[in-house]
Amino acid sequence: MNTSNSPKLKEAEEASFAHGISELIGMSVMNLVEKMRPPQESTERVKAALFLNICESFQAAIILVRRDLSAHSGLHIRAMLESFVHLTMLNRDSVYLAQMTFDQVKGQLKVQEALAEDPFISAGSKQRIAEYTKELKVRYDELYKQGYRAKKLGDLIKLHEDANLSHYYASYQQLNSMAHWDLTMLTDRHMEKDGGMTIFSKSSDRVTIAVLFTAMMVMVSATAAVEKVTSFAEGVYEKEFDSMNQAWGRYLEHTGPRQE
């Protein structure tokens, strides 16, 4: 909440300011990654991989914002949020890795079953698909017997209040709308009020602000979550995370709701 006397920015100014702050955070992220020492334990390596995926997706989103294509960054920011949810759940309990494995196997089974029904797949390929499907089914049944079931990510965000994720729920639903390009997004992006249509137009400031706010919040939170997952060159984590927090704090100071 902005309790200072800093003037609240206009929408266009805030969009530009958010872009500048996200670039600063992005530089700190890459400085941090360059000095990251990969962990060796399997669960910690998964956590580190999730963090790296968040970093990559953040950079991809920034590139799209640079090209005035903020509306297309929703897919990458949703990936950031999904990876952050998994990272948070793993930090709470390493057993969550089995849930991720169950989801992976279930997804692979669906892919193989779809391929097996493809009329253009050769007999030899179908045989290999059948063999792999059999292996997957064994792993699936083992995990199913242990009590694992498919879980919707939105439910993990909404229901696990103890994981401090519920405040991301509205953002996740909006990012789903953007990632799937529903009618709201298609109308906002490509249809003009006078009946015309447009392509490669500048994304609205409102969209840019919304996506960058979520992206920066997830990036800073993920960096906090990864502190004890892996190690960094001496002093690097503290320096870069402090820079990120200062940049994020500066953004909130100038854009948060004013307290009268």
Q: Is 36 helix (H, G, I), strand (E, B) or coil?
A: strand
Contacts of 189 (CB under 8 A, 6+ apart): 71, 181, 198, 201, 203
How large is the average pLDDT for residues 220-231?
Answer: 94
Lowest mean pLDDT among 76-85, 108-117, 156-165, 236-245: 156-165
Closest by Cα among 15, 10, 57, 11 to 33: 57
> Is the Cβ–Cβ distance between 26 and 221 less than 8 Å?
no
Q: Residue 38 belongs to what H/E stretch? A: none
pLDDT digits (tens, 9 = 90+) for 14-38: 999 999 999 999 999 999 999 999 8
> Is the Cβ–Cβ distance between 250 and 21 less than 8 Å?
yes
